[in-house]
Chain A
Amino acid sequence: MPFRQGLTIGTRPITVMRMEPTNESLARAASDGDGAAFAQLLERQYDGIFSLAFRLSGSRADAEDLTQDVCTALPTKLQGFRGEARFTTWLWRVVVNAAHDRRRRAATRARHTEGWGDWEKNRRAGDSETSEAVDWLTQAMRSLPEDLRDTLALVLDDMTHEDAADVLGVSAGTISWRVSEAKKHLRALREREDQV
């Protein structure tokens, strides 16, 4: 909702249009202590955080926990937002790191794998076609090594290889390589299935 406001520079009145603030400007204002900017920023990004958390962890419960981790860490982390990366790139990096922390903590507590390993419990009942697709998803994701899984969590949401590379701190070439590795895995999995 744009509004107009009269401003004066020297003696000349000037009119400014108010536009939707960018993520970057909100983040900078928030890191300067602007609570309203922080609220607006998080509200705007919440669903995106949750959906990446889900793609990374593979269950609703884990995604909720992970989202909570990210939400509580953000106020502190934001102070380190330097504005040289796009805000979302920075944010996805925070989410991926939080997911790694969680996996590491889980690994010290117990040896069984969490997340994509526990899929069965969380499978959505009902629509059998969906359920079959979800089975395939679970099985596929579970069969992939962790770095490929993280990469897919990003690129499955139509993120470019360059952006995913920025988030994961590797080169775009590495992402492309991982994606092609993942495709190879998936193809092999499909072939094995088809033989059954």
Chain B
Amino acid sequence: MSDEFDDLKHAMKAAMPAPDAAQKASHLAMAQKKFETLQGSADEARPTSDRPKTGIFRGVREMLSTLSTRGALTASTAFVALGLAVVVPDWRQAPQLFDAGYSVDEAQPVPVVRERAEADDTLGRAAPEAEMEIQEAPVIIVPEPLVQSAPVVSMQQDGAYTRAMPVPGDGALVQIEGDTEAFADADQNPLKVTADEPVSTFSIDVDTASYSFIRSALMNGQMPPVESVRIEEMINYFPYDYAEPQGDQPFETTVTVTDTPWNPDTQLLHIAIQGEKPALEDRPPLNLVFLIDTSGSMEAANKLPLLKQSLALMLPQLTEEDEIAIVTYAGSAGQVLEATSATDTDAILGALDNLSAGGSTNGEDGLRQAYSVAEGMAEEGEVTRVLLATDGDFNVGFFDPKRLEQFISDKRESGTYLSVLGFGRGNLDDEIMQTLAQNGNGQAAYIDTLSEAQKVLVDQLTGALFPIANDVKIQVEFNPGQIAEYRLIGYETRGLNRQDFNNDRVDAGDIGAGHTVTAIYEITPVGSPAVLTDDLRYGEVAASSDSDELGFFKLRYKAPGADNSRLIETPILAGGDVTDEMRFAMAIAGFGELLTDSPYLGDWSYDQAIALANASKGDDPFGYRAEAIRLMRLAESLDQ
């Protein structure tokens, strides 16, 4: 250490004030109050939170909560007075079931194997692995009161599960496992002052994973964690019927300005992009390589079995020209199906049936093999794509995410795309999924139910598999003479630097056939009472312009396979025809803001979001929008 460094350290110690006792007390009290309020609202959502002293049972609860499938929910309702017995063969395998930190309700019989004398830290660090073991332990429901044999925990169910929300009837299972889910945590896009920062640049996003995740949380009776909410993915989950492209353009852009539902003094700038829908018979042949994670954690009913069902649903959409290969990865990677025509359903379904889960995840080898199979299948004029189906653990092989990213973007250059289908909950690493799909020019979708599989792999298959434009970037320059402040809703993980817009080497999102993309800005006109920032006393005077344009919209995209981008530009003017499609998108934007406790909504609440969504639901052939309204209602009652 240099002298300067030590000097600095000492100076820092010397300068450090002690926290003010009164301040500290008030901060602690405030935090506690916030905590209690939050719990009050979450009680309904978290059936296990109403007995605070039973923190020790977390492990058990996690096992129990894996039972919260539809069947088990009904079952546990019936057992309210009977109790549940959970059998774990070896307690030494599940040390986290008791937690040295907590005193125990004496009424509860509790399994304890030995005294915990290790350092506290070991306990905390050991927990994640231990949780894995627990999930593999058999769970048996015994419909008899408290069966007592040596290694048995019995735990009286207090009926809390009857309040959990049942899963809708599509036969698929939703389950919550250990808390190892990771999300790409980006702060909400802040309000920007037009005079300081007139230009906003971002990449489009057609992922939908966040919406499915939110749905699955709400259906389980829990408010989704704020960092799992990506509003653009919620909005773009829904197909919209925007104006269709004319002539040679692969997509049509419509920019509309209208009143903000939640603030009479601001306006929303609604940007709609509609991809062309090429005739199905004209589509190029597809080469699909399914890279299937068959590691032990994929065994759950909502993972590998759901994946098999999903692929079976998809096959009828494909033609004789299309080819499918399957590569699995677990302890070792291997190709289980040679390139096979998609109409040879017997061979494909047979190979799927033979898959079984086991071993740890060797993502790197699997990915390399999948790409090499894909390259073998690719021919001129065909679309080649690797579809990675995983529950998100990519923990063997690429230790360095940067290397993984690099590998995938290199492959993208070679013309093989990558999409990611996420299955199950528990160790879904949302951030890795995002990174993979973004770098592979693909889509990340999260499949939690068979009906979601139908949406992604059947109803919107063409969009998911056939790109019509790559690296689509949007840049909006606001006119400081008209717009005082603006804020992009969502797209936090998609922000680009201003100079990236014209740099064709910077990667961005892609649009598939028939896809729609929506982006919404909330804008505050100059002189509006909603302006939040004051003028600077000493700031330079903003360049004034007589133009009545609100701003200027620019979009760059590349035709698939092209190196150079094309530019679309149009001035943004007030007005435009507001359709129900746009209103529905705004209702979803508002819903997302409510879920993230956005400070910009004022008194606008779920009631208004529901009313707006209901009024603008329009034609809803697949029932997606009706489902969204049901979710809003659920969130409203959970968020009390």
Question: B15 is contacted by which of A46, A71, A137 (Cβ under 8 Å)?
Answer: A137
Is B20 in contact with A64, judged by CB distance below 8 angstroms? yes
Is A130 in contact with B111, judged by CB distance below 8 angstroms? no
**B597 CB–A CB distance under 8 Å:** yes
From 9 to 65 in chain A, residues with beta carbon under 8 angstroms from any chain B beta carbon are: 9-11, 14-26, 28-30, 32-39, 42-43, 46-47, 50-51, 54-55, 60, 63-64
Is B109 in contact with A137, judged by CB distance below 8 angstroms? no
Given contacts A46-B28, A82-B181, contact A21 B101 (CB under 8 A): yes
**B558 CB–A CB distance under 8 Å:** no
Kindly state the separation between the CA atoms of A136 and B100 in the bound complex, as whole angstroms: 47
Q: Which residues of B lie under 8 Å from residue A54 when comparing CB positions?
A: 16-17
Number of interface residues of A (CB under 8 A): 81
**B23 CB–A CB distance under 8 Å:** yes
Kindly state the separation between the CA atoms of A130 and B11 in the bound complex, as whole angstroms: 7
**B533 CB–A CB distance under 8 Å:** yes
**B104 CB–A CB distance under 8 Å:** yes
Q: Which residues of A lie under 8 Å from residue B16 when comparing CB positions?
A: 51, 54-55
**B52 CB–A CB distance under 8 Å:** yes
**B42 CB–A CB distance under 8 Å:** yes
Q: Which residues of A lie under 8 Å from residue B150 when comparing CB positions?
A: 9-10
Whose C-beta in chain B lies nearest to the C-beta of A23? B124
**B102 CB–A CB distance under 8 Å:** yes
Is A97 in contact with B226, judged by CB distance below 8 angstroms? no
* A-B residue pair count with CB separations less than 8 angstroms: 230
Question: A39 is contacted by which of B27, B28, B43, B102 (Cβ under 8 Å)?
Answer: B28
Number of interface residues of B (CB under 8 A): 85
Binary interface encoding of chain B residues 81-122 relative to chain A, with 1 for a CB under 8 A from any of its CBs, else 0 = 000000000000000001111111010011111011100110
**B128 CB–A CB distance under 8 Å:** yes
Q: Which residues of A lie under 8 Å from residue B125 when comparing CB positions?
A: 24, 86
Question: A83 is contacted by which of B2, B30, B127, B191 (Cβ under 8 Å)?
Answer: B127
Of B19, B180, B183, chain A has the most CB atoms within 10 Å of the CB of B19
Separation in Å of the A157 CB from the closest CB of chain B?
Answer: 8
26 A–B pairs (Cβ distance < 8 Å), ordered by A: A5-B106, A7-B104, A9-B110, A10-B151, A17-B115, A19-B100, A21-B100, A24-B127, A28-B99, A29-B58, A38-B35, A50-B19, A51-B16, A55-B16, A60-B17, A71-B28, A74-B35, A75-B31, A76-B38, A82-B180, A86-B125, A87-B124, A108-B533, A124-B17, A133-B11, A189-B4
B-side residues, CB < 8 A to A, are: 2, 4-5, 7-12, 14-17, 19-20, 23-24, 27-28, 30-32, 34-36, 38-39, 42-43, 46, 48-50, 52-53, 55, 58, 98-104, 106, 109-113, 115-117, 120-121, 123-125, 127-128, 148-152, 179-183, 185, 187, 190-193, 196, 225-227, 533-534, 536, 539, 597
